[in-house]
Chains A and B, each alone.
Chain A
Amino acid sequence: MRLEQISVFLENKSGRIADVTAVLAQAGINIRALSLADTSDFGILRLIVDNTPKAEAALKKNQLTVGKTDVVAVEVEDQPGGLHRIMDILCKADINVEYMYACINPDTRDKAVMIFRFEELEAAARLLEKNGIGIIQGDRINTLLK
């Protein structure tokens, strides 16, 4: 149920995201999901890609600081209250979401996919599954639907 995410440290300078996308494009990497968190000084670019080792190597070769973190891809009903149902389950169990962002869905069109970063990944994922929430296997996001 784990999904590997790459994060990249960026200074808050114009053109830095384009520099990263250029590196990935040149390496033939497909970006499946992306989110940017930033402060006035720096930003953290988080990416789900189709080939994590290859993307990591290409970014490091370009002297970028790269981190790897496990996240969870969760299916969300594409209807009002879909996300709230998930948040409600997590909230009641007192599970903290570090951050989350949207991802394309490799399988169906009636469900959205959200990427969740938890401090306690296993516990959170088990809880969601127990409540009937679909968790997408990491390798499906990473490699399927090229």
Chain B
Amino acid sequence: MIFNIEYETMPREALESIQLRRLQATLERAYATVPFYRERLQAAGITPANIKTLEDLQAIPFTTKQDLRDNYPFGMFAVPMTNVVRIHASSGTTGQPTVVGYTARDIGTWAELMARSLSAGGATREDIIHNAYGYGLFTGGLGVHYGAEKLGASIIPVSGGNTKRQVIIMKDFGPTILTATPSYALHLAEVAIEMGVSFQNLKFKYGIFGAEPWSETMRREIENKLHLSAVDIYGLSEVIGPGVAIECHEAKKGLHIFEDHFIPEIIDPSTGKVLPYGETGELVFTSLTKEAFPVIRYRTRDISCLNPEPCICGRTHVRMQRVSGRTDDMLIIRGVNVFPSQIESVLMNVDEVEPHYQLLVDRKDNLDILTVRVEVGERLFSDEVKKLQSLEAKIEKDIKEYLGVSAKVKLVEPKTIARSEGKAVRVIDNRKI
């Protein structure tokens, strides 16, 4: 079902004229209210009045995650705090997350986009949605929640964790739609089997999975094990949260980007040049309707490509291919963004010298396991076992505290971490996804 037939199936020409009008309005507001954007545009010798076509957007400088960090916490907000009704945050470098704000209208927009997404994934107002995305600063849980209410479906705000209780709820409440990270969906399936509950006997029809990279192989595994039809959802808190793009369950071939609210571009990450449809590069978004936190040419670091071909579902919005990787070294561990530099900061605080470390990511029983290997130099070393064990425990605690992710610390001998061309190999990702 298409939630908003008028906008989601709008002919391209009409859609593009709405995009241009909204782009001009966004630029004017950002220029007038956010010093960062005004200075960037001035430095590039541009005023919002120079933007006369959609192609003119290409002259505007990019915005990066670092720019958002530099303006921590509220420097990028385009409205006074009295108009901000919600604040979310995603993990950034140690102690400094990326903070985003929403006006009441932004929350309405987000609910609309999530209602569209849930519909595209197969949900209707008759459905019961089991929402296992985490509620909190992370946008996943509340994003789905508001969308489900907008759609008129019944939502179970179960959030993450306590998997056995979740299985009992699935058995007793009979939800028909599952929303979760793909790895947690598979974990749910395994725990259900252990508890003697078969997904075949549950009422699930559709599942909407995202917030971490996954693959076609994983989709087949989820569909086979959970007996439902699975689609991919995409979003990031900087742009709005989940609901930037959604796969339709009819085609399951790329995610429709809601182009009446966002302009996507694919760029060459090294030159910044905009690439034509079909070519693979870094995904860049400009928001068209956001009030509190507009983003202009925001570089996501996600690698994808755009497909403008008409879709069997009837939507006219361009489709992005499922994200195939990152242009930086960010890892997503159980839905949490982790940069090796964050781990490095934690280790620096422990040792005060440049640490030699390596992140090892595995997926066991469908859950991500992060192991941090740390070389033991003379400064860290002790002749007492308990001191080394408490060192491990301290690093684990600091990582949990600063990054919000559980890690196992393993002390290793010096020079055992592989170095290629003199540079340490910082990440080994063994996840088969």
Contact = CB atoms under 8 A, between A and B. Distances in A.
Contacts of B55: none
Interface stretch (A24-32, A62-70, A133-141): A62-70
B383 A5 contact: yes
B415 A66 contact: no
Interface residues of B, number: 17
Contact of A37 (B376, B385, B413, B416): B385
Interface in A71-114: 98-99
Given A44-B388, A65-B378, A67-B378, A11 B413 contact: yes
B367 interface: no
A14 to B, nearest CB: 14
B383 A117 contact: yes
A10 interface: yes
Contact of A69 (B376, B383, B389): B383
Contacts of A11: 411-413, 416
B413 A10 contact: yes
B384 interface: yes
B389 A9 contact: no
Contacts of B414: 63-65
Nearest to A69: B383
Nearest to A38: B385
B382 interface: yes
B253 interface: no
B413 A67 contact: no
A26 to B, nearest CB: 19
Contact of B385 (A10, A44, A63, A69): A44
Contact of A7 (B381, B411, B416): B381
B382 to A, nearest CB: 7
A39 B389 contact: yes
B410 interface: yes
Contacts of B413: 9-11, 63-65
B75 interface: no
Most buried by A among B376, B383, B384: B383
Interface in B405-433: 410-416
Contacts of A66: 378, 381
B139 to A, nearest CB: 37
B393 to A, nearest CB: 12
A43 to B, nearest CB: 9
Contacts of A98: 384
Interface string B378-402: 1001111100110000000000000
B378 A41 contact: no
A81 to B, nearest CB: 28
Given A9-B376, A69-B383, A99-B384, 5 more contacts: A7-B382, A37-B385, A42-B388, A66-B378, A67-B382
9 contacts: A7-B381, A7-B383, A9-B381, A9-B411, A39-B389, A44-B385, A64-B414, A66-B378, A67-B381
Interface of A: 5, 7, 9-11, 37-39, 41-42, 44, 46, 63-67, 69, 98-99, 117
